[in-house]
A and B are shown apart, each in its own frame.
Chain A
Amino acid sequence: MPVSHSKTFFKDLASAAALERLLPKLVMAPTFVVTLVFIYGFIFWNAWLSFSSSRMLPRMDWAGFTQYVRLFSNDRWWVAAENLAIFGGLFIVLCMAIGLFLAILLDQQVRLEGAIRTVYLYPMALSFIVTGTAWKWLLNPGLGIEKLVRDLGFENFTFDWLVDPEKAIYTVVIAGVWQSSGFVMALFLAGLRGIDDTIIKAAQVDGASLPSIYWRIVIPSLRPVFFSALIILSHIAIKSFDLVMALTGGGPGYASDVPATFMYAFSFTRGQIGLGAASAMMMLAAVVAIIVPFLYSELRRGRNE
Chain B
Amino acid sequence: MHALKIENVYKSFGDTEVLKGINVAIEPGQFLILVGPSGCGKSTLLNIIAGLEAATSGHIYIGEREVTNLSPKDRDIAMVFQSYALYPNMSVRKNISFGLEIRKVPKAEQRETVQRVATMLQIEDLLDRKPSQLSGGQRQRVAMGRALARDPSIFLFDEPLSNLDAKLRVEMRAEMKELHQRIQSTVVYVTHDQIEAMTLGDLIAVMKDGIIQQFGPPQVIYNAPKNMFVAGFLGSPSMNFIPAVVEQTESGLGAFLEGGAGRIFIPLVHCTQALKAWVGKAVVLGIRPEQITHAPEHEGRIQIGVCRINRVELTGPDALVTTCLNKTDVIARVQPSSLCQVGETMALGFDTSMIVAFDPATEEAIV
Contacts and interface: CB of A to CB of B under 8 A. Distances in A.
Verify whether A and B have any Cβ pair under 8 Å: yes
Interface of A: 1, 3, 10, 13-14, 16-18, 20-21
A10 B76 contact: no
A18 B66 CA distance: 15
B64 A3 contact: yes
Nearest to A15: B69
Contact of B71 (A1, A3, A13): A13
B220 interface: no
B76 A14 contact: no
A1 B67 CA distance: 12
A92 B67 CA distance: 60
Contacts of B74: 1, 13, 16-17
6 contacts: A3-B63, A10-B70, A14-B69, A17-B51, A17-B74, A18-B69
Contacts of A10: 65-66, 70
A17 B64 CA distance: 19
Contacts of B76: 1
Sorted nearest first, the 4 A-B pairs with minimum C-beta distance are A17-B71, A14-B69, A13-B74, A1-B76
Q: Counting chain A CB atoms within 10 Å of each CB, which of B54, B63, B71 scores highest?
A: B71
Given A10-B66, A13-B74, 7 more contacts: A3-B63, A3-B64, A10-B65, A10-B70, A17-B51, A17-B70, A17-B71
Interface in B133-159: 153
A13 B70 contact: yes
Nearest to B71: A17
A35 to B, nearest CB: 24
Interface string B68-95: 0111001010000000000000000000
A216 to B, nearest CB: 40
Nearest to B76: A1
A230 B54 CA distance: 44
Contacts of B70: 10, 13-14, 17
A24 to B, nearest CB: 13
A20 B64 contact: no
A117 B157 CA distance: 49
A18 B74 CA distance: 12
A20 B51 CA distance: 12
A10 B71 CA distance: 11
A20 B65 contact: no
Interface in B38-81: 51, 54, 63-66, 69-71, 74, 76
A25 to B, nearest CB: 14
A16 B69 CA distance: 10
B61 to A, nearest CB: 12
A16 B73 CA distance: 11
Interface string B99-121: 00000000000000000000000
Nearest to B74: A13
Contacts of A3: 63-65
A21 B74 CA distance: 14
A21 B153 CA distance: 24
Nearest to B66: A10
A13 B63 CA distance: 16
Interface in B257-279: none
A90 B97 CA distance: 62
A3 B28 CA distance: 15
Nearest to A10: B65
Nearest to B72: A17
A213 B253 CA distance: 72
Q: Counting chain A CB atoms within 10 Å of each CB, which of B65, B66, B69, B153 scores highest?
A: B69
Nearest to A3: B64
Nearest to B69: A14
A10 B64 CA distance: 12
A80 B45 CA distance: 61
Contacts of B54: 21
Contacts of A13: 70-71, 74
A1 B150 CA distance: 11
Contacts of A1: 65, 74, 76, 153
A21 B52 CA distance: 11
Contacts of B71: 13, 16-17, 20
Contacts of B64: 3
B201 to A, nearest CB: 26
Contacts of A18: 69
Nearest to B63: A3
B268 to A, nearest CB: 51
Nearest to A12: B74
Nearest to A13: B74
B155 to A, nearest CB: 15
Nearest to B153: A1
A198 B54 CA distance: 46
Contacts of A21: 54
A16 B75 CA distance: 13
Contacts of A20: 71
Q: Counting chain B CB atoms within 10 Å of each CB, which of A13, A14, A17, A18 scores highest?
A: A17
A1 B75 CA distance: 9
Nearest to B152: A1
B65 A17 contact: no
A190 B69 CA distance: 48
